[in-house]
């Protein structure tokens, strides 16, 4: 199942929330941002089986639920900084863009010529 968020409720403490990351770079960036915002957190890591990421470690941060909005914003900033393009191959990316523009041009020409 596709999961679009990187946080979940703490299994034993309802006053805490867990944010998790899959790369050491994301972990360090989130940690830096959280320290700048002076958020309370604890850090941990666990083994993880993943086909998408090369590492087999999941990095997690446990934060107070009252800081959720700030932490979620920092999490989104972290993912935005380290995101990969939807189509990574440049040739394929420009081919898809060109194909779309060609289809759009043909559609507009069809509308103009039918009237």
Distance CA 33, CA 29 (A): 6
Please report the pLDDT score of residue 30 as a whole number.
94
Could you give phi then psi for residue 62, rounded to 5 degrees? -105, 120
Query: Which CATH number among 2.60.120, 3.30.1340, 1.10.3470, 3.30.70 corresponds to the domain 7-83?
Result: 3.30.70
Q: What pLDDT is recorded for position 51?
A: 67
pLDDT (tens digit per residue) in 64-94: 999 999 999 999 999 889 888 888 899 999 9
Token readout for 43 is 């850090």
- Would you report the helix, strand and coil content of the chain in percent, each value rounded to 5? 50, 20, 30
Q: Point out which residues pair with 7 in neighbouring strands.
A: 19
Q: What is the pLDDT of residue 4?
A: 66
The answer on pLDDT for 106 being more than 80 is yes
What pLDDT does residue 57 have? 85
pLDDT, tens digit, 9 for 90 and up, residues 40-60: 999 998 887 666 656 578 899
């Amino acid at each position: 199942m596709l999961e679009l968020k990187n946080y979940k409720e703490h299994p034993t403490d309802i006053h805490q929330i867990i944010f998790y990351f899959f790369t050491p770079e994301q972990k360090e960036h989130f940690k830096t941002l959280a320290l700048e915002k002076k958020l309370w957190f604890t850090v941990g890591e666990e083994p993880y089986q993943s086909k998408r990421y090369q590492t087999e470690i999941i990095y997690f941060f446990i934060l107070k639920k009252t800081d959720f909005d700030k932490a979620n914003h920092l999490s989104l900033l972290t993912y935005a900084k380290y995101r990969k393009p939807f189509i990574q191959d440049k040739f394929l990316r420009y081919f898809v863009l060109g194909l779309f523009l060609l289809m759009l041009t043909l559609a507009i020409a069809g509308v103009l010529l039918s009237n």
